[in-house]
Amino acid sequence: MAVLVGKKAPLFEADAVVNGGEFVERFSLEQFIGKKHVVFFFYPLDFTFVCPTEIIAFQDKIEEFEKRNVAVVGCSVDSKFSHWAWLNTEKSNGGIKGVKFPLVSDLSKTISENYDVLAGEYDYNDDGELEFDGDAVAYRGLFLIDKQGVVRHQVVNDLPLGRSVTEALRMVDALQFFEENGEVCPADWHAGDAGMKATAEGVAKYLSK
C-alpha cells in the first residue's frame, strides 16, 4: 500500500455527479488547489450496505466541513448513472437521496489505482490472458489534501470497516491548527486544546502538565 502523505495528490479528470443529481464531465480536484482543503474518500460500491452509512454521515456533517472551508468528495468504481440512480433513491429503499457533495465515477479504476486503494490488481494468467485478481472495487481510503494539493493524512480501511467522520473532522482541525499556529498536535488533540512546540522543551512542558 503506497503512502501518499507528503506527496502531491494524484490529479484526474472524470465524470461526477454533483448537487444530488447534476452530471459533470472532467471533474477534477485541481479546482480546489489554492482555495480549499479536500477530504477525498473512496468507497467500494453504490447500492451496498456500509457505504450509505458513511456517505450519509458525511452529508450530516457537511456544514461542519464547509465552515472549515473543506470540500468533501466521494469516489467509487461505479458509473455516473449508478451514482445518479443511488442519489435519487430514498433512504428507506437503501438510497442516499439528499446527499449533495460530489461523487466521482472511477469506472476505469485508474483513480483507485493511482491512490493505491484498489482491492486487487490486474495480472496475466498461465495462458497469457489478463485477469483481475481480487475485488475490483476500492478499499475505504480517505485522503486529507491541503490547499497546495499535498496529501497530509490518509487512512485505508478494509471493506467491512466503516470510517469515523468525526475523526476526519478532527484531522482537519489538527491540520488547520498547525497551519495557523505552527504548533504540533499531540495525541488525542481536539479543537480547543493547547498545541505543543516541536522542541524538547515543548514536549517537556506539555508532559509536565
Burial 73-108 (b: 16+ CB within 10 A, else e): bbbbbbebebbbbbbebeeeeebbeebebbbbbbbe
Q: Write out 182-201 in H/E/C secondary structure.
A: CCECCCCCCCCCCCECCCHH
Q: Is 51 a catalytic residue?
A: yes
Cell of residue 126, nine digits: 498461465
Single out the catalytic residue among 17, 39, 45, 51.
Answer: 51
Neighbours of 154 (CB within 10 A): 21
d(CA 77, CA 191): 34
Whose cell is 473512496? That residue is: 42
| Residues taking part in catalysis | 51
